[in-house]
């Protein structure tokens, strides 16, 4: 690695994905207003939120590059963020089951010289049908209230994933190939 990297996220999945490809980083959570702008597309909102998070952490990064991401789930034109509680998680999962939805992740990098770079990725996911009992069991066992759309593709929900079109890792919260290319182009990591 050429430059120290701070990940402006408390997501253990994002840190794990970076570590998996040899990118070490320090973790710092970013507290920002995550309300969506109704005038923006889901991809634009996700990218804007990622930039907001990176900008919030950059002043305390001590000369490190700051990477941030934000993931949204879009079903039937409706954006699903993180559910507030188990009841909302159940409603979200009942909406998603038996059909296609999109997972949109915005990512952003703020360099020590305040240069900003960002982008987004979209992955389509098709769920198999789930019974209400299966939905309740999943929520009870995996407690998905910290995940956009109320599910993790890498956990017990895998048994209901019929098809994925696009980057699998994007559904986990970080389109790793695109992010690594961004880090390489910015000189944060070596190719």
CATH number, position 178 = 3.90.950.10
155 within a domain of the structure (yes/no): yes
Cβ count near 138 (within 10 Å): 23
123 within a domain of the structure (yes/no): yes
Pick the closest to residue 187 from 2, 30, 5 (CA basis).
2
How many domains does the chain fold into? 1
Which is it for strands 65-75 and 100-110: parallel, antiparallel or unpaired?
A: antiparallel
Per-residue pLDDT at 3: 86
Instruction: Provide the domain limits for residue 170.
Output: 5-185
53 within a domain of the structure (yes/no): yes
Catalytically active residues are 70
191 within a domain of the structure (yes/no): no
190 within a domain of the structure (yes/no): no
Is the full-model pTM beyond 0.75?
yes
Per-residue pLDDT at 68: 98
From CA 114, how far away is CA 110, in angstroms rounded?
Answer: 6
From CA 156, how far away is CA 53, in angstroms rounded?
Answer: 29
Report residues of the chain scoring pLDDT below 50. Answer: none
């Amino acid at each position: 690695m050429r430059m120290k990297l701070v990940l402006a996220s408390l997501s253990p999945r994002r840190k794990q994905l970076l570590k998996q490809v040899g990118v070490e980083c320090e973790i710092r959570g970013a507290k920002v207003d995550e309300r969506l702008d109704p005038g923006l597309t889901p991809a634009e909102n996700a990218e804007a939120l990622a930039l907001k998070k990176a900008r919030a952490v950059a002043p305390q990064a001590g000369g490190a590059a700051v990477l941030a991401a934000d993931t949204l789930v879009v079903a039937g034109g409706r954006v699903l963020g993180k559910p507030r509680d188990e009841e909302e998680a159940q409603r979200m999962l009942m909406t998603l089951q038996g059909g296609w939805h999109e997972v949109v992740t915005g990512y952003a990098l703020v360099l020590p010289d305040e240069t900003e770079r960002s982008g987004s990725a979209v992955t389509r996911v098709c769920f198999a049908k789930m019974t209400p009992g299966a939905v309740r069991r999943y929520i009870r066992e995996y407690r998905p209230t910290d995940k956009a759309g109320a599910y993790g593709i890498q956990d017990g929900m895998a048994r209901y994933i019929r098809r994925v079109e696009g980057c699998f890792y994007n559904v986990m919260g970080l389109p790793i190939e695109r992010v690594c290319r961004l880090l390489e182009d910015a000189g944060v990591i070596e190719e």
